[in-house]
Amino acid sequence: MLSITLEEKQMKIMSQENDQFCRLNVGFSMENEIQPKYQLDPDKFITAFVSRGPNNQIYSLRETIFMAIALNRTLILPPFFKHDRGDPTSNGSNTAVRADSSHFDERCPKRVSNWIRKIFRAQVICPFGENPPRLQATQEAMNLPVNFNTQNICEDKTQTDKIVPNREQIDEAYGENHEREKDLAIRRVLRMNSQGMVQRLFEKEEGTKCAGTGFPYESVQLMHLVRHPTEDGAIARDIVQHTERPKHIKRIVERFIRKYGGEKESPHFMAVHWRYDEKDWKEEQCKRRPDFKICEDFEIMRDSEKLSDEIEAYLSSLEEEFDFIYIAAPPSEISLIEGVGKSFARKGLIPIVSQVEMDQLMREEFEDSCGEKFESLRFEIMSMLESEICVNAPVFYYSIMSSYSMNIQQERFNRPKSATRFNGELFGDARYAQIH
């Protein structure tokens, strides 16, 4: 509550002083204003090497926070990276952004030549081409002494073999049974679903003051934990709740919902997470569920009229009415979504809106007051706006095997009155309506 009060107070004062105040510039230290809920060891640290797109990075951050609490280590925020897929402002995927870690070298002083060797290995590093360069970028962003060539980490396996939990630790962590999980752990893709499991695997790494997690992703089973009424579940829910989007993002989405919800106090709308493109549907959705209707007829997603007909038929089968539909889709698919919206308008049906309409409010808020900063961040801002509206939708339709959808579902578990359904339902695949 204190952080919200301070942010709103500062914004109000600065807005009164300057009509062109840019909310993207808000930044201040609350180091002496608040006390952490989880008191962690101030002399031992942990950070993360994050990979892939922004939603994978948020997922990795949440897992690393859980590991920090379990291992009693102070968390140092890692640098984040822009997504080079669909964001022309990224300038490549290996430029560190959105994190001030300039004091990392002060907190982890003297010789840290073994720092990179003491990664808590949460995921395989080498297969993804951007990972070795991001190791280097993270090292540079945190001002770490270059005592270890991160580019060679995949070539020199003698360095990485030392940091992988051995079979004895894995057996101890998982106990009897759980053979599948043990196999995953042995393959260096750990699946941890409790603080105790994290501790048993990694607490013996006491010789390292500053450690990191190696691209954690679905290592700590947050999707499992947030649903459980246990201490670990409470921690997971805390982590998710406190890693949501900034207040200025939430305010824009509130305005958007009021506008397209007919100024109702509680409009009933659905939000749909659309996959990147046809290739993404084929390789992710359809690879795992080849009997989806859309996987049997890809013309549905190539023709806006056919897609419009499918969604109309689905809506007519429901015993509920919606005020509007928001489809969160990448820029490459916007012409398709706009075509569906125009088709619905011709038929006199409910509005279908997307980032085209969201862009108007975003520019009203930031374009004039933030200038170049807005232009450099507008793709990230739009991504956050679309995540926010999906989180707040009374009904959300998710994609399988998607970090975007998983992050949204984690947050929606704290909103028990909301409904979460599989996006394949839109094409008559209600048999897969369970939560992923």
Q: What is the mean pLDDT of residues 120-137?
A: 60
| 427/82 Cα distance (integer angstroms) | 33
Lowest mean pLDDT among 14-18, 272-276, 366-370: 14-18
More confident site: 338 or 82: 338
- pLDDT bin (cut points 50, 70, 90) of residue 152 is very low
| 160/363 Cα distance (integer angstroms) | 47
Q: What is the 3-state secondary structure (H, E, C) of the chain?
A: CHHHHHHHHHHHHHHHHCCCCCHHHCCCCCCCCCCCCCCCCCCCEEEEECCCCHHHHHHHHHHHHHHHHHHCCEECCCCEECCCCCCHHHCCCCCEECCCCCCHHHHCCCCCCCCHHHEECCCCCCCCCCHHHHHHHHHHHCCCCCCCCHHHCCCCHHHHHHHCCCHHHHHHHHCCCCHHHHHHHHCCCCCECCHHHHHHHHCCCCCCCEEEEECCCCCECHHHHCCCCCHHHHHHHHHHHCCCCCHHHHHHHHHHHHHHCCCCCCCCEEEEECCCCHHHHHHHHHHHCCCCHHHHCHHHHCCHHHHHHHHHHHHHCCCCCCCEEEEECCHHHHHHHHHHHHHHHHCCCCCEECHHHHHHHHHHHHHHHHCHHHHHHHHHHHHHHHHHHHHHCCEEEECCCCHHHHHHHHHHCCCCCCEEEEHHHHHCCHHHCCCC
More confident site: 120 or 386: 386
> Which pLDDT value is given to residue 257?
97
- pLDDT bin (cut points 50, 70, 90) of residue 44 is confident
Tens of pLDDT along 185-217?
Answer: 666 566 788 888 888 877 665 556 777 777 788
| 319/19 Cα distance (integer angstroms) | 47
> By the 8 A CB rule, do 244 and 411 touch?
yes
Q: What is the mean pLDDT of residues 338-362?
A: 96
The pLDDT of residue 331 is above 90: no
The pLDDT of residue 130 is above 50: yes
The pTM of this model reads: 0.82
Q: Which CATH number, 3.40.50.11350, 3.40.640.10, 3.30.56.10, 3.40.50.720, labels domain 247-432?
A: 3.40.50.11350
Residue positions counted in the chain: 436
More confident site: 158 or 84: 84
Q: What is the mean pLDDT of residues 144-173?
A: 57
| 203/225 Cα distance (integer angstroms) | 21
| 389/37 Cα distance (integer angstroms) | 28
| Domain spans, the chain | 1-29, 36-241, 247-432
